[in-house]
Amino acid sequence: MKKTIFLIGILLLLLLAACGDDQNEQANGDSDNSDGSDNGEEKTTISFWHNFAGDDLRARTIRDRIDQFNEDNPNITVEAEAIPVDGYRQRISTVAAAQELPDVFFTYSGSFTDQFYEGNLIQPITPLIDENPDWADSFLSSALDIYEYGDEEDIYSVPVAMSSTSYLFYNKELFEENNVQVPETWDELMDAIDVFNEQGITPLAMGNQAPWVAQSTTFGAIADRVTGTDWFMDAVEQNGAFFTDPVFIDALGYFKELVDANAYQEGANSIDNTQAEQYFAQGKAAMMINGSWTISSLASSSSEEVLENIGVALVPSIPEGEGRENTITGGPGGGFVLNKNAEGDVKEAGLELIYYLSNDEAQKEIAESNSMVMYDVDIDEDKVSPLYYNAFNLVRGAEFAPVYDLYLSAAAGEAINNGLQEIMLGGDLEPVAENLQQAQAQSVEEDDDE
């Protein structure tokens, strides 16, 4: 017994000793630092939060650029904090509520940035735009509009990413073997579906277990072609257009046409998106409509042989529809914004950092990490996967259409997601339209109340 107590005592002492050492070292380190800065010129320190914390190519590219910026600018210290994607929104919202936002931070386009503008928490980056007109002009169509706020139409950020959710991927070999052309119109698509069905090949792969897939990848593109973008924007505001309008029922009807033609494999509602991607990559399905995320997940999971056999195109046009033909659902992604309270040297340094992370060179580097950007840049074909290269060039020539659930209220988004599953299970169109209309009308009403 005595021995045990003695041993424990020794252990405790050792622990204490270890802690003491640490503190000493830290103290030493601190004093070293302060000595160093006393000798040099005055340094500007800016705090910077972003969510490029992962191990993927793009995150590493951005982190490398931040390090490079610190090296190139000895008089600026960027205190960067990388926060994992999952918790980023919450962390930023929390510090925003406490008025403790960092000097520069990453934001998502759309309603997330709206909050900062409405809360008067960010300031425009107009000086950058004025100084670098060529750079500002190189962003793809409407890329900067999403960060434009107020009567002055000031620009508050520039996107360093792009979301694009509806590519038509196709299996080149299966198309050649069955003598089918890549469909460019709806009728050609329906013909292709019939041909593949006759051959016992699934025409379109889909994994709609998490029900946003059908909506985000397929229906949004179809609906935009049928109703046109303006109609959708009006319906979102409930401004003279409603989801019970015949034109929207038409759009649902096109989706039902796919279902009725047996375009999707059996049980599409009970496999997930990744399984559907694999199903397609294994050559069991001739086509798949999916987003840009598919490009990176296929690139990391499939052999080069498989990748070379995959072609990419836009969703076929619907000439009878009201909408544009050459569109892809998606739009500008996130960018960096400057804190309202940044002034003087901090503001200068912040602007410099934002420019450094989103200028010509940065956009090129991000693009070459197999990640889509909203910027007109020629990428080196050897540095990226061929599938990505083709998709990127395809999207540069296309126009953007809204992704449904980015504009609808959360409840309405759920309504259309569940409704599309309902249609895939043989349900009627009208109740789906009515549920969606009801959910969206309710949230618009609630917004007006507030």
- Nearest to other proteins of 338, 433 (CB atom): 433
Q: Binder to other proteins among 268, 288, 349, 373 (CB under 8 A)?
A: 268
Helix (H) / strand (E) containing 49: strand 44-50
Q: What are the CA-CA distances from residue 316 to residues 58, 181, 193, 195, 224 (Å)?
A: 31, 12, 13, 17, 12
* Binding track over 193-232 against other proteins, x by CB under 8 A: ---------------xxxx---------------------
Please choose, out of 60-68, 268-276, 292-300, 330-338, the segment that lies near other proteins by the rule CB under 8 A. 268-276
Supply the minimum distance, in Å, between the C-beta of residue 434 and other proteins. Answer: 13
- 407, 327 in Cβ contact below 8 A? no
Supply the minimum distance, in Å, between the C-beta of residue 442 and other proteins. Answer: 10
Helix (H) / strand (E) containing 18: helix 2-39
Q: With CA atoms as reference, report the closest residue to 364 among 352, 382, 376.
A: 376
Q: With CA atoms as reference, report the closest residue to 357 among 41, 26, 128.
A: 128
- Nearest to other proteins of 182, 411 (CB atom): 411
Q: What are the CA-CA distances from residue 430 to residues 115, 136, 330, 393 (Å)?
A: 35, 45, 27, 39
Supply the minimum distance, in Å, between the C-beta of residue 97 and other proteins. Answer: 10
Q: Give residues 379-438 in contact with other proteins (rule: CB under 8 A).
A: 409-411, 413-414, 418-419, 421-422, 424-425, 427
- Nearest to other proteins of 269, 317 (CB atom): 269
C-alpha span between 162 and 139 (Å, rounded): 11
Supply the minimum distance, in Å, between the C-beta of residue 264 and other proteins. Answer: 11
Residue 110 binds other proteins (CB under 8 A): no
Residue 98 binds other proteins (CB under 8 A): no
Residue 262 binds other proteins (CB under 8 A): no
- 302, 386 in Cβ contact below 8 A? no
Q: What are the CA-CA distances from residue 139 to residues 11, 78, 169, 302, 332 (Å)?
A: 63, 26, 26, 32, 10
Supply the minimum distance, in Å, between the C-beta of residue 116 and other proteins. Answer: 14
Helix spans in 199-309 (H): 212-213, 220-227, 229-237, 246-260, 273-281, 293-301, 304-308
Residue whose entry in the numeric block shows the structure tokens 């397929």: 218
Interface with other proteins (CB under 8 A), residue total: 28
- Nearest to other proteins of 190, 423 (CB atom): 423
Supply the minimum distance, in Å, between the C-beta of residue 205 and other proteins. Answer: 10
Name, in order, each residue with C-beta under 8 angstroms of 33's C-beta and a sequence gap of 6 or more: none
Supply the minimum distance, in Å, between the C-beta of residue 446 and other proteins. Answer: 7
Where along the sequence are the contacts to other proteins (CB under 8 A)?
208-211, 265-271, 275, 279, 284, 409-411, 413-414, 418-419, 421-422, 424-425, 427, 446, 450
